[in-house]
C-alpha cells in the first residue's frame, strides 16, 4: 500500500549513497580473485538503486565467497556451512521489507547445503542469490568441489577427479516453482551488473550462477574463454539482456532466447562450451512463499496474546462447546 504522505516527506530528506557508503573494509581475497568483480557489481547495484544500508542484508555460508557480508557496509550474517538459505528465509519471513541477498559458493551451496538450496528454490522467497562458482574449495587450499570438472587434480583428488561436474543451472531449472535463473561470468563486468540488476528487480528467488576465476588454485582454467570472445554465448532478448553496441562488437556469438521458454532454457543450461551468459529463465508469475503465508504479520502485544490464547483454546476441553458442536 502506498504511504503517500510519509513517502513525500521521506523523499524530501532522502539520503543518497555513493559507492563508498557500501564498502566495508578492504577485501582479504587473493589478488585477482573474481569475488572482487562480484563485490564491485553488487556495490554498484546498491548505489544505483539507492538501497538503504540499514534495510539491506547479505547472508552467506562458509567459504571464500562467504566473506562477502564483511565487505558490505550493510547488515550481514556470516552463517554456518551450507545454511545460508534457511537463515535468509528466516530473515525474509520476519522482515519481508528488507532487501535480502545470499552469497554462497559452489561447495557451500551445491554440496553441504544442497538440500536447503533445492527447497529454497521451491519456496521462491523474494531474495537475490549469487552462487560464486570457482569450481574449487579455495578457503581450505584446493579440494575438488561438486562443480570441479572431471580430471581436476586437487588435494582430495590427486589423480584427478572422476565424477562429472554438477551443473547448478540444470538443477535449479529442474525444481518446482523456479522463477529466475541467470548465468554471468566475472570477466564481463557490464553483463554481470545487468544480470545482477535484473535479478534484483525480479520478485522471487533470483538465482545467478557467476562463473568466477580462482587465480590462486586454478589460474589457467578459464584462459581459453578469457581470450576468445567467441567461446561466450550471449543470450539476448527484449526481456533479458541487451548488451551495449561496444560489447556486442566484441562478443559476436549471440542468440535470442525468450526467458519464458523453460525447455529451451534447460537445453541452453546444459551447454558448457560456449559458456551461455544471460537470463535463462524468468517467470514473474510464480507466487512467493512469504505472500502465501502472510509473512511479517502483526506482532503487537495484543495480537501475540490473542494468537496464543486462540492456540491454547484448541487444547482446552469445553464440554458445552463440544455439545454445541455436535448439535450443530
Partner 1 sequence: MDMAAKFQDQLVFHLTGRRSGEGLAPVDARPMRPALLAGYRDLARLRHDYPLVLLENGATDGFAASLTLLVNHVLETLAPRGLEGERLRKHVLRLEREMRAMLAAGTEGSVSELWAAAAAKLADDADESVAKILALAGDTLKADGELVDCDERLPARFMAHAWRHVQAQKGELFHGHIDALQRKLSDILRAAFAHSEAGQRPEALRASVGGLHATDFDFDAMSRLVVRNVPKDQLPAPRRKRIEWALSVLKAQRFHASPRIASDAPVHDFHFDNVAAAVAAYRERLPQVVELVKAMAIADLETRNGYDEADHDPYFESYDENSLAAEDMALFPDYLVSIPVGRNDAPENAGLMDTLSSGLPVKVVVQITDLFEESSIGTGHFAFGIRAARLATAAMGLGGMFALQASSSTLYRMRHRVEQGMGCRGPALFSVFAGAPDHASALPRYLTAAAAKESRAFPAFVYDAAGGENWATRFSLEHNRDPETDWPADPFEYADDSLQRVRETVAFTFADFALCDRRNAGHFAVVPRERWTAAMMPAAQWLALPERESAERIPYVLAVDDDEVLHRVLVDAKMMQATRRCLLLWHRLQEHAGIHDSHAERLLARERTAWEAQQNEALEAIRKASAASPASPAAAADAAPPAAAQAAPAEEAKPPSDEPWIETARCPSCNECQLINPEMFAYNDNKQAYIKDVNAGTYRQLVEAAETCQVAIIHPGKPRNPDEPGLEDLMKRAEAFN
Q: Which residues of the chain form contacts with partner 1 (CB under 8 A)?
A: 1-6, 8-10, 12-13, 18-19, 31-34, 36-37, 39-40, 43-44, 186-190, 213, 215, 226-227, 246-247, 249, 296-303, 306
Query: Measured from the CB atom, is 211 or 269 closer to partner 1?
Result: 211
Query: Measured from the CB atom, is 24 or 34 closer to partner 1?
Result: 34
Q: How far is the CB of 66 from partner 1 (least distance, A)?
A: 19
Q: How far is the CB of 309 from partner 1 (least distance, A)?
A: 11
Question: What does the alpha-carbon distance between residue 172 and residue 297 come to, in Å, rounded to a whole number?
Answer: 30
Q: How far is the CB of 200 from partner 1 (least distance, A)?
A: 16
Query: Measured from the CB atom, is 171 or 295 closer to partner 1?
Result: 295
Torsion of CA 106, 109, 113, 119, to 10 degrees: -150
3-state secondary structure of 320: helix
Q: How far is the CB of 306 from partner 1 (least distance, A)?
A: 6
Q: How far is the CB of 108 from partner 1 (least distance, A)?
A: 22
Question: What does the alpha-carbon distance between residue 240 and residue 272 come to, in Å, rounded to a whole number?
Answer: 20
Beta-sheet strands, E only, within the chain: 56-60, 75-78, 99-105, 127-133, 136-137, 143-144, 180-185, 205-211, 232-236, 254-256, 275-282
Question: What does the alpha-carbon distance between residue 89 and residue 94 come to, in Å, rounded to a whole number?
Answer: 9
The CA–CA distances, whole Å, from 145 to 105, 142, 161, 181, 301 equal 10, 9, 10, 21, 48
Query: Measured from the CB atom, is 160 or 219 closer to partner 1?
Result: 219
Query: Measured from the CB atom, is 71 or 207 closer to partner 1?
Result: 71
Amino acid at each position: 500500500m502506498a504511504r503517500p504522505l510519509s513517502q513525500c516527506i521521506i523523499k524530501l530528506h532522502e539520503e543518497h549513497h555513493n559507492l563508498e557508503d557500501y564498502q566495508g573494509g578492504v577485501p582479504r581475497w587473493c589478488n585477482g580473485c573474481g569475488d572482487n568483480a562480484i563485490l564491485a557489481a553488487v556495490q554498484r547495484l546498491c548505489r544505483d538503486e539507492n538501497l538503504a544500508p540499514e534495510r539491506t542484508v547479505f547472508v552467506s555460508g562458509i567459504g571464500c565467497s562467504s566473506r562477502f557480508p564483511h565487505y558490505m557496509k550493510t547488515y550481514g550474517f556470516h552463517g554456518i556451512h551450507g545454511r545460508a538459505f534457511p537463515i535468509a528465509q528466516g530473515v525474509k519471513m520476519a522482515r519481508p521489507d528488507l532487501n535480502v541477498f545470499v552469497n554462497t559458493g559452489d561447495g557451500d551451496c551445491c554440496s553441504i547445503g544442497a538440500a536447503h538450496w533445492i527447497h529454497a528454490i521451491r519456496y521462491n522467497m523474494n531474495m537475490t542469490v549469487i552462487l560464486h562458482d570457482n569450481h574449487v574449495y579455495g578457503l581450505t587450499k584446493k579440494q575438488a568441489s561438486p562443480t570441479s570438472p572431471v580430471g581436476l587434480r586437487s588435494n582430495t583428488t590427486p589423480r584427478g577427479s572422476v565424477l562429472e561436474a554438477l551443473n547448478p543451472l540444470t538443477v535449479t531449472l529442474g525444481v518446482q516453482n523456479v522463477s529466475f535463473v541467470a548465468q554471468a561470468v566475472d570477466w564481463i563486468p557490464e553483463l554481470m551488473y545487468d544480470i545482477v540488476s535484473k535479478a534484483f528487480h525480479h520478485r522471487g528467488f533470483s538465482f545467478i550462477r557467476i562463473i568466477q576465476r580462482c587465480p590462486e588454485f586454478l589460474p589457467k582454467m578459464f584462459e581459453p574463454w578469457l581470450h576468445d570472445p567467441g567461446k561466450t554465448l550471449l543470450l539476448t532478448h527484449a526481456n533479458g539482456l541487451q548488451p551495449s553496441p561496444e560489447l556486442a562488437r566484441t562478443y559476436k556469438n549471440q542468440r535470442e532466447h525468450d526467458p519464458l521458454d523453460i525447455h529451451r532454457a534447460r537445453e541452453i543450461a546444459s551447454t558448457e562450451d560456449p559458456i551461455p551468459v544471460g537470463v535463462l529463465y524468468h517467470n514473474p508469475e510464480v507466487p512467493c512463499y512469504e505472500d502465501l503465508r502472510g509473512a511479517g504479520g502483526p506482532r503487537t502485544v495484543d495480537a501475540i496474546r490473542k494468537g496464543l490464547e486462540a492456540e491454547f483454546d484448541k487444547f482446552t476441553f469445553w464440554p458445552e462447546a463440544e455439545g454445541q458442536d455436535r448439535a450443530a
